[in-house]
Amino acid sequence: MSRQKEKIEFRYYNIPAGTYVLPKIGPGWEQEYGVGMNEMLHFHNYLEIGYCYHGRGRLIIDEREYRYSDNMYTFIPKNIPHTTISDPGNICKWEFLFIDLETFIRDEIHSDYLSTDEILRITSKRGTLKSMKNHPVMGHLIQNILRECHEQDSYSQESIKGYLYSLIIEVLRLDEERESARRSKRISHYIQNAVNYISVHYSEDVKIRDLAESCGLSESHFRRIFVDSIGMKPVEYLNLVRIEHACMLIRKGEQSMEDICYTVGYQTPSTFNRNFKMITGISPRDFRNTTETTTPLSKFRITALRGWEGFDFLPDK
């Protein structure tokens, strides 16, 4: 016997001609949500935006479950199953906007950067629950649209169009930030792999293609993201690590300068001397003759990524 499919409702709305927004507002939307519905999901033919003024409960969007409370709002594209369930005995005040997103974008938004279809794809990706605390810009735009729907003053429809335009732009910006963070996270992983490889193999004849292969990238792509992330070329970072280790070996005083040169990975003393002076400002022999007890590089905490995320190149410092 085949398994019975879970029941779901299609709740269809008609948006009046000449407008893009159908508000569902007022006292009738202050209630205990989900009573007697057995958590049955529903979906709509338009984008649904809901704003919770007060109340607590659960929100199911597709297969994800969220907790909602005061001053939180939803953004649920059409055809996405969802439902709202108040905590037992909890009277919640929600108000809703149903928006003909596709028509609005095709009629009102003209971008030099994204096609209409791409804007629709981004704004229809997934349903979500957000808070005024974490996403105040979107929240205030939604509040302004609701206010215009309540007041219905002169030029309300024009004002609603403006707020709705800004709301779509904010959705696009948030998506761009999210995608950028994902790319940065991937790049951070690649760079960490390269840094780890250098920390182990710095004394060997390291080739840039070896670093690129350790990250699973082409050499040209690897060079580009390394410089973009760290602000120096891979070979410059390799030299930095080699000279840091050379400084420590010089301080120990157990090896000749030539032995140190080969120990840290240089093929010739002249290359070692040139890179040492370029990084520390003095020659290896002058460095040995100084009375300072710490290396020039040990004064600094060198971080790998500019901006939102960083990690230590030299964890022992």
Q: What CATH number does the domain containing 75 carry?
A: 2.60.120.10
Q: Is 54 helix (H, G, I), strand (E, B) or coil?
A: strand
Q: Does 212 lie in the same domain as 133?
A: no
pLDDT of residue 306: 37
Q: Does 128 lie in the same domain as 16?
A: yes
DSSP assignment string, 263-308: HTT-SSHHHHHHHHHHHHSS-HHHHHH---SS-GGGG---BS-SSS
Q: Does 146 lie in the same domain as 21?
A: yes
pLDDT of residue 197: 86
Judged on CB neighbours under 10 Å (0-12, 13-18, 19+), 314 is middle
- Residue 23 included in any domain: yes
Q: Does 133 lie in the same domain as 15?
A: yes
Q: Does 207 lie in the same domain as 122?
A: no
Asked whether the beta carbons of 194 and 234 are under 8 A apart, the reply is yes
Q: Which residues of the chain have pLDDT under 50?
A: 1, 3, 291, 293-317
Which amino acid belongs to residue 211?
Answer: L
Judged on CB neighbours under 10 Å (0-12, 13-18, 19+), 156 is middle
Distance between CA 92 and CA 76 in Å, rounded? Answer: 19
pLDDT of residue 186: 62
- Residue 95 included in any domain: yes
Q: Does 131 lie in the same domain as 55?
A: yes
- Residue 170 included in any domain: no
Name every residue whose Cβ is closer than 8 Å to that of residue 121 and which is 6 or more positions away in sequence: none
DSSP assignment string, 93-130: EEEEEEE-HHHHHHHH---SSS-HHHHHHHHTS--EEE
Q: Please tell me the total count of domains within the chain.
A: 2
- Residue 159 included in any domain: no
Q: Residue 203 sits in a domain of what CATH number?
A: 1.10.10.60
Distance between CA 209 and CA 215 in Å, rounded? Answer: 10
- Please state the φ and ψ torsions of residue 109, each to the nearest 5 degrees: -110, 120
User: What pTM did the predictor assign?
Assistant: 0.61
Looking up tokens 């939180």 gives 72
Distance between CA 180 and CA 252 in Å, rounded? Answer: 45
* Cβ burial 88-125 (10 Å sphere, 16+ → b, else e): eeeebebbbbbbbbbebbeeebeeeeeeeeebbebbbe
Q: Does 197 lie in the same domain as 146?
A: no
pLDDT of residue 183: 62
| Domain assignment of residue 227, given as a range | 185-299
Q: Does 205 lie in the same domain as 77?
A: no
Rg (CA), the chain: 30
Distance between CA 47 and CA 50 in Å, rounded? Answer: 10
pLDDT of residue 68: 97
Q: Does 191 lie in the same domain as 144?
A: no
Q: Does 196 lie in the same domain as 108?
A: no
Q: Is 63 helix (H, G, I), strand (E, B) or coil?
A: coil
pLDDT of residue 181: 66
Distance between CA 257 and CA 244 in Å, rounded? Answer: 14
Q: Measured in whole angstroms, how far is the alpha carbon of residue 301 from the centre of its chain? A: 26
